Structure 1
Amino acid sequence: MSLLERLNEDMKQAMKNKEKEKLSVIRMLKAAIQNEAIKLGKDELTNDEELTVLSREVKQRKDSLQEFEKAGRNDLVEKVQTELTYVDVYMPEQLTEDELLQVVQEAIKEVNATSKADMGKVMGAVMSKVKGRADGSSVRNVVQQQLS
């Protein structure tokens, strides 16, 4: 079952259960995926492309969450946290710190990285492997630790 089909099923269920917030988030995700398909000129996105869209949506919400927390907008913080819980359902399982460390160490060996100057090469190799299963800031932190 593709992500779009799963979203359609969950949307129907949310309508039946009268879950307005969940329905709103699902519709937003569907729209983001459909807009990306239109932008790329395709009828359907691949799993990787769908994952990229979902990752972008999660990142946007996390960024908004930080901004709202800084501004002291607790009402918006709660709303964004709720949205994040609904979006996280569709994301693949996140890597543990140990798994991420292992992937980073393998990538360092692959690209023969020796210093922080090689960080870009390592990040590129790691991000392609962990797409959607780890966010960029945590990957960056682990890479920096390993290269220092």
Structure 2
Amino acid sequence: MSLELNINAEIKTAMLGKKEADLRALRAIKAAILLAKTAEGSTGELTEADETKLLQKLAKQRRDSLEIFQQQNRQDLAVKEEEELVVIERFLPKQMDEAELRTALADIIKSVGAASPADMGKVMGAATKQLAGKADGKAISAMVKELLK
């Protein structure tokens, strides 16, 4: 089932269950899908990779907003962002834990022949392609820096 069909089904369920937070997040996802499908140069269909990128973008926006709201002591807004983030993350692929990420990055470092922090660009290029959707870019970057010391 495509993401769009899945979201539409979830919206119906959220409406019937009167789940306001779920409904808000699901509608945001649906709006982003429609924008992506009608964007200039778009084919009108989204691949699975496009869907994952879209969901990651939405999740990142929520995390950034959540951080800002917490810094400004706006708990009312922070709670809303957190609720939406939980819903969006349900549709993202399972994220790697720290041990899995460390192992995968160690393999990538060996395969590209990186030995020093100067090789970080090579490692990041390969890592972001291989681990797309499985790990956050910030986490990948921090782990690569740690491993290349």
Show the counterpart of 1:114.
Answer: 115
Whole-Å separation in 1 of the counterparts to 2:133 and 2:104: 14
Task: State the number of aligned residues.
Answer: 148
Query: Partner amino acid for 1:8?
Result: N
- 3-state SS of paired residue (1:26): helix
Structure 1: segments with no counterpart, 5+ residues: none
Show the counterpart of 2:35.
Answer: 35
Aligned pairs for 1:26-105 within 5 A: 26-39=26-39, 40-105=41-106
Whole-Å separation in 2 of the counterparts to 1:25 and 1:58: 10
The answer to which of 103-112 and 50-59 deviates more is 103-112
Whole-Å separation in 2 of the counterparts to 1:65 and 1:15: 25
Note the C-alpha offset of 1:20.
2.0
Whole-Å separation in 1 of the counterparts to 2:97 and 2:58: 21
Structure 2: segments with no counterpart, 5+ residues: none
Runs of 4+ in 1 over 6 A off after TM superposition: none
Query: Partner amino acid for 2:13?
Result: Q
- 3-state SS of paired residue (1:95): coil
Q: CA RMSD in A?
A: 1.1
Note the C-alpha offset of 1:88.
0.9
Show the counterpart of 1:25.
Answer: 25
TM-score, with length taken from structure 1:
0.95
- 3-state SS of paired residue (2:103): helix
